[in-house]
Amino acid sequence: MHLFVILGALISLSFSISTVIAIIRGRVKPNRVTWLIWAIAPLISAAAAISSGVTWAVLPVFMSGFGPTLVFTASFLKKEAYWGIERFDYICGFVSILALIAWYLTKDPSVAIILAILSDVLAGLPTLFKGWRYPETENGFLYLGTLFSASTTFTEIKNWNLAEVAFPTYLILLSLSFFIVIEGRRRYLKKHRGAQ
């Protein structure tokens, strides 16, 4: 029974749906470059892991790509429901796509996972910086779904190798970073604005 990864996948999906609702209500403004690459990179990593023989442990990684696909799609539902893209966003997106192309050319699952992580990190930088500068455009708590889902991977790991461990470990670190930066910054600004 793969109860924990299924539960993690459902929780991840519920957080993604919460993000979609927040976008529609105008409470969150996603950066499309980030969310597009966040959709692509984990799906590629999941495909690479499956090609290496990983089974149920890949479900959280797949969900970490499926959820951003929903968020990216939702950003088109309302004209003002996305964050304006700057040159830095394009540079990160371009280098991120280069990493995905490099994976395609190598066909090596381990290289694919490392390049997918690199791509994902670069794609996330614009949103991380936006969350620091404008925390009101993000909701750090929404990243906790990915944190929980990625953590469930470790209940399914059979072989402790790069293909099974790398991307879930990265997702945990990413989710924690986004939660801490966004919510910490929001509290800091609220405290200092209230003191003025």
Q: How many residues does the chain have?
A: 196
Q: Is pLDDT of 70 > 90?
A: yes
- Specify whether the CB–CB gap between 125 and 90 falls below 8 A: no
CA atoms of 111 and 113, how far apart (whole Å): 5
- List the alpha helices (DSSP H) in 134-161: 144-152
Range of the domain at 38: 3-195
Find the helix packing angle between 32-51 and 59-74, rounded to 10°.
150
pLDDT at position 27, please? 84
Helix (H) or strand (E) holding 64: helix 59-74
pLDDT, tens digit, for every residue of 96-113?
777 777 777 877 777 777
pLDDT at position 63, please? 85
CA atoms of 75 and 71, how far apart (whole Å): 6
- Specify whether the CB–CB gap between 30 and 23 falls below 8 A: yes
Helix (H) or strand (E) holding 175: helix 162-195
CA atoms of 178 and 129, how far apart (whole Å): 10
Number of domains in the chain: 1
Q: Which amino acid is at 118?
A: L
CA atoms of 85 and 92, how far apart (whole Å): 11
Residue bearing tokens 């939702």: 74
pLDDT at position 175, please? 92
CB neighbour list of residue 174: distance below 8 Å, 6 or more residues apart? 120, 121, 124, 143, 146
pLDDT at position 190, please? 86
pLDDT, tens digit, for every residue of 103-141?
778 777 777 778 778 878 888 888 898 889 889 888 888
Query: 184: burial class by Cβ within 10 Å (0-12, 13-18, 19+)?
Result: middle
Mean pLDDT calculated for residue range 164-170? 85
**SS3 assignment for 30-52:** CCHHHHHHHHHHHHHHHHHHHHC
Average predicted confidence (pLDDT) for the chain:
82
- Specify whether the CB–CB gap between 55 and 92 falls below 8 A: no
